[in-house]
Amino acid sequence: MKTIFKSLFAITVLSLVFSSCGNGGSDKKSGALSSSAAEKVYVAPGEHDEFYAFVSGGFSGQLAVYGLPSGRLFKVIPVFSVDAEKAYGFNEETKPMLNTSHGFIPWDDSHHPDISQTAGELDGRWVFINGNNTPRIAKIDLTTFETTEIIEIPNSAGNHSSSFVTENTEYVVAGTRFSVPYPQKDMPIAEYKGNFKGALTFISVDPEDGGMDIKFQIMMPGFNYDLSHPGRGKSHGWFFFTTYNTEEANSLLEVNASQNDKDFIAAINWKKIEEYVNNGGGTKAPTNYAHNVYDEHTHTATSTMKDEILIVNPSDVPGAIYFLPTPKSPHGCDVDPSGEYIIGSGKLAAELTAHSFTKMLAAIEGEKFDGEAYGIPILQYEEILAGAVKQPGLGPLHTEFDGKGNAYTTFFISSEVVKWKLGTWEVIDRKPTYYSVGHLMIPGGNSRKPFGKYVLAMNKITKDRYLPTGPEVTQSAQLYDITGEKMELLLDFPTIGEPHYAAGIPADIIKANSKKFFKLEENKHKYVTKSEADAKVVRDGNEVHIYMTMIRSHFAPDNIEGIQVGDEVFFHVTNLEQDYDVPHGISMIGAQTSELLIMPGQTETFKWYPKNVGVWPFYCTDFCSALHQEMQGYVRVSPK
Ligand code: CUK
Ligand code: CUA
């Protein structure tokens, strides 16, 4: 996004940018905060925050958990990137989570978390998030706050318009920023137009256990599919995707890709396509994608490679897909709580466009078409337009809703959040952001029931807002009170990675179900050791399996002999504690991996390749009791 906008700066709004955006750094407008701002974000020691905010970690590949209104960071959940602190991607149990058709991938770029819904309201069971680079969707279980499933999206590239859920979490949906040859093949890039395809993927979610499965993939024309949102309420059953580069330029220098006065929002009647597929429609096609599942009882992930996918072409299901003309390279595409308004934010447009779902259906019924693109009818713009917010700001990106008839839109170029009224389209208030805001988030603000108390703005540029830390400065978010007519800036707080989007939810919906520890009797790990009496060392050729336990404040066994240079040594370590917040860690000198941090009742494994004879120590890495420094042991390594 930064790159695109840097070019836009240059060609369209150079003078305006510098007068309105405040990116210069010397012009620090902290604003006069009211004295009550501090009170509004102050959560007294020992008190809990009112909301959880799950904020994407951007190029860290992770998902961070903050409390609102305090902005305190509680946890960084490893999702797409290895994490040495938690041994994610380092221990034997979680390595399969990062398996893909390209092999083990230790990193990704995560953008859009979305919380599962029931009847259009947040239910707090799972949060989904996309991996942008090597297309994947992950699911995090909100009882354990751990990543429990990752599914790769084949035929996609730049998995950006993801991962948004339908109002009963029937599907989590993935779009594709890049169109690519389908199937992939060696061909001249200049022959893009008419030959590349954009895959939109509908992943079903099992209502009981949340299991994900790719139900079908729609092979769309070769545009860029940027953001998406489900219909809700009256528009439940539809999904909306913004497109840009409908010119199908293979090089996106502005001259090529911003010629069309309007691009499209693609409206997809997924219920109709689901019905077609359930009746045997679609074509099975060969492919390769990984499906990785972490099992809470074996505490182990397995990776399965799938080799087939169900493809649906738009022409297979007439009447299921329409294009809604939307000015100038729309980025965000947001549906209001009633499901009536579909807001398209044309990045280069002078106004915000609101389409009417009711008018859209009438236009379809009355065949008010303005031609077609690749056989997909284009609806007449005037027939579907509900209204427009005129001259609201520069560079509109994303909109959320407060459930009281107001919408809040971010403007990247003019660095502000603008509050406006649904239906009258009048601007009510605008507040600057510091600086260059991307997404914003109101807890529940993309559901039927928003909790319209705060809006969180996630900024792309930080500049002078914090103490300098060399050339790289912190990423940041800002919290505004939106309970009054005017918004009030309350708080800046630093975030990890680049915060793209976030999902917020009242803490009470999640808190009661949060797991305290794993029950030892339910531990079905292949190498679990349930009591110290069962601790042992088992040799099998040059493989050695150590069945180890840990409890305050010792390991069993703690003196291990009979290991030889050249062995492959597996430490299978079970934490025997059955209490809240008593993890133990283990680390081994010279081990070619991270520490393990093992929760009560859990088993984890690391591998060690002893290279030198001697007596080598290991110890607990998490200060666990007064005798933490006594929690240690030795391994004796003898010559082969
Ligand atoms: S976003 Cu991913 S480039 Cu507007 Cu959802 Cu920042
Ligand atoms: Cu166990 Cu420190």
| Residue 353 structural domain | 50-410+497-511
Based on the fold, state whether residues 265 and 339 are members of the same structural domain: yes
pLDDT of residue 589: 95
Strand runs labelled E in 450-542: 454-459, 475-481, 488-495, 502-506, 536-540
Cβ 116 vs Cβ 140: under 8 Å: no
- Identity of the residue numbered 562: G
* Spatial CA neighbour of 157 closest among 61, 86, 223: 223
Judge if the beta carbon of residue 439 lies within 6 A of ligand 1. Answer: yes
Q: Would you call 296 exposed, middle or buried from its count of C-beta atoms within 10 A (0-12, 13-18, 19+)?
A: middle
Last residue of a domain, one of 450, 481, 511: 511
Residue with CA closest to ligand 1 atom 6: 500
Cα–Cα dist 409/416, whole Å: 8
Judge if the beta carbon of residue 1 lies within 6 A of ligand 1. Answer: yes
pLDDT of residue 34: 74
Cα–Cα dist 159/177, whole Å: 6
Q: Is residue 41 part of a domain?
A: no
Q: Which of 3, 439, 440 to mutate to test the pocket of ligand 1 (most atoms within 8 A of CB)?
A: 439
* Spatial CA neighbour of 277 closest among 228, 235, 313, 319: 313
Angle at 116 between CA 206 and CA 114, to 5 degrees: 125
Q: Which of 55, 242, 345, 397 to mutate to test the pocket of ligand 1 (most atoms within 8 A of CB)?
A: 397
Based on the fold, state whether residues 175 and 90 are members of the same structural domain: yes
Based on the fold, state whether residues 501 and 539 are members of the same structural domain: no
Q: Is residue 449 part of a domain?
A: no
Cα–Cα dist 555/89, whole Å: 24
pLDDT of residue 30: 54
pLDDT in tens, 604-622: 999 999 999 999 999 999 9
Kindly report whether the peptide bond that precedes residue 557 is cis, defined as omega within 30 degrees of 0: yes
pLDDT of residue 31: 57
Interface predicted TM-score (ipTM): 0.94
Based on the fold, state whether residues 244 and 341 are members of the same structural domain: yes
Other Cβ atoms less than 10 A from the Cβ of 194: the count is 9
DSSP code for 110: B
CATH number of 184's domain: 2.130.10.10
Sheet holding 63-68, edge to edge: 73-77, 63-68, 51-56, 502-506
Residues of the chain under the 70 pLDDT cut: 1-32, 254-256
Based on the fold, state whether residues 507 and 580 are members of the same structural domain: no
Based on the fold, state whether residues 352 and 391 are members of the same structural domain: yes
Percent with pLDDT over 70 in the chain: 95
Distances (CA, A) of 476 to 71, 176, 224, 461, 473: 10, 27, 28, 8, 9
377 CA → ligand 2 middle, Å: 65
Based on the fold, state whether residues 183 and 125 are members of the same structural domain: yes
Based on the fold, state whether residues 606 and 501 are members of the same structural domain: no
Q: Is residue 262 part of a domain?
A: yes
Cα–Cα dist 230/241, whole Å: 9
Strand runs labelled E in 109-145: 114-118, 121-131, 136-141
* Spatial CA neighbour of 141 closest among 205, 68, 188: 205
Based on the fold, state whether residues 329 and 397 are members of the same structural domain: yes
pTM of the model: 0.95
Based on the fold, state whether residues 505 and 381 are members of the same structural domain: yes
Q: How many domains does the chain have?
A: 2
Based on the fold, state whether residues 502 and 621 are members of the same structural domain: no
pLDDT of residue 25: 39
DSSP code for 33: -
Distance of CA 251 to the CA centre of its chain: 28
627 CA → ligand 2 middle, Å: 8
pLDDT of residue 350: 85
pLDDT of residue 3: 43
DSSP code for 40: H
> Which residues touch 596 (CB under 8 Å, ≥6 apart)?
87, 91, 571, 573, 585, 586, 587, 604, 605, 606
Enter the tokens of residue 496.
């990890």
Task: Specify the pairing of strand 543-551 against strand 568-575.
Answer: parallel
Based on the fold, state whether residues 80 and 200 are members of the same structural domain: yes
pLDDT of residue 32: 61
Q: Closest ligand 2 atom to the C-alpha of 621? A: 2
